[in-house]
Chain A
Amino acid sequence: MTGGADEGVYFITGKDFTNAGAASSSLKKLLEDRGVPADIVRRFSIAAFEAEMNAIIYAVAGMMRYSITRDMVKVTLQDMGPGIPDISLAMTEGYSTAPDYIREMGFGSGMGLPNIKKNVDHMTITSVVGEGTTLEFDIALSPSP
């Protein structure tokens, strides 16, 4: 693996389904270019994409910050949105408040947050109803021994 610390930010616009996934897709490329093993890249990309889609579906706007070091990739997605009243309920597989038009796009099965948790090493969600939600996660970049 090559390269030093790398950080940046992507701005996410609520309901912008045309560009939905663009941030996660460029982060995926960044990791691939650094020679991160494919299975780790896949775990990371899935988590980033589910997080990005949630911000696009539920929030007005969001900021996705990332930092990549030799050992770890970390993402903090802070959004301006309705917030999550009950985080443990939101983490339950199958729980979703997505409207029908989101379901018609193939989302809204209530699998996103549980799947993020499954793919990352650490994940935290903080949320204030009426203000927004911040989701943070990280993944170690070297294959575990």
Chain B
Amino acid sequence: MTLEDIQTILNAAVLARRADLGVSIDRAYCADLMSDVLAFSVTNSLLITGLTNAQVIRTAEIADIRAIVFVQSKRPDMETIALAEGRKIPLLATQLSMFDTCGKLYANGLRSQSVDPA
């Protein structure tokens, strides 16, 4: 699915002045622990998190995360948004809880690892 599909499914706001919502996303990882993201996420994933500090953006950059969804109406500050813009990592913000965010995306076909059949 595309980032735009994800935006629609989650009824999410886009926190970027220029974001390419056409990028294709086919896997996701959900965590509030950045070391878990670094240890277990796969490259080009969507990151779903409730943390909004600058370390989340740095972690995403290091782990080759393609885009980030902030759950539960949480918003990063402007500096953090600017950092993400500089790294070309689109940010979305949804009012949904983490559980509902993951549930909706899963129901629409998004998975944690590659969609390639095993």
Query: A20 to B64, Cβ gap below 8 A?
Result: no
* Nearest A residue (CB) for B32: A106
Report which B residues bind A (CB closer than 8 A).
32-36, 38-39, 43, 49, 51, 53-56, 58-59, 61-64
Query: A46 to B61, Cβ gap below 8 A?
Result: no
Instruction: Give the docked Cα–Cα distance between A115 and B36 (Å).
Output: 9
Least CB distance from B58 to A in Å reads 3
Interface stretch among A7-15, A21-29, A134-142? A21-29
Answer whether residue A129 sits at the interface, using C-beta atoms and an 8 A cutoff: no
Instruction: Give the docked Cα–Cα distance between A17 and B35 (Å).
Output: 16
| Contact partners of B62 in chain A: CB under 8 A | 21, 24-25, 28, 42, 45-46, 48-49
Using known A-B contacts A38-B43, A115-B38, determine if residue A106 contacts B61 with beta carbons closer than 8 Å.
no
Using known A-B contacts A49-B38, A107-B34, A115-B38, determine if residue A25 contacts B58 with beta carbons closer than 8 Å.
yes
Query: B38 to A106, Cβ gap below 8 A?
Result: no
Residues of A36-50 whose CB lies within 8 A of B: 38-39, 42, 45-46, 48-50
Residue of A42, A48, A53, A106 touching B63 (CB-CB under 8 A) = A42
Report which A residues bind B (CB closer than 8 A).
17-18, 20-22, 24-25, 28, 38-39, 42, 45-46, 48-50, 53, 105-112, 114-115, 118
* Nearest B residue (CB) for A116: B38
Query: B38 to A46, Cβ gap below 8 A?
Result: yes
Pull 7 A–B residue pairs with CB atoms less than 8 Å apart, ordered by A.
A20-B58, A21-B54, A42-B43, A49-B59, A109-B36, A111-B36, A111-B39
Residue of B39, B43, B53, B64 touching A106 (CB-CB under 8 A) = B53
Query: B35 to A111, Cβ gap below 8 A?
Result: yes
* Nearest B residue (CB) for A28: B62
Instruction: Give the docked Cα–Cα distance between A115 and B54 (Å).
Output: 21
Query: A106 to B54, Cβ gap below 8 A?
Result: no
Most A Cβ at <10 Å: residue of B34, B43, B61: B34
- List 4 A-B pairs, minimum CB-CB distance, nearest first: A21-B58, A111-B35, A106-B34, A49-B62
| Contact partners of A105 in chain B: CB under 8 A | 34, 51, 53, 55
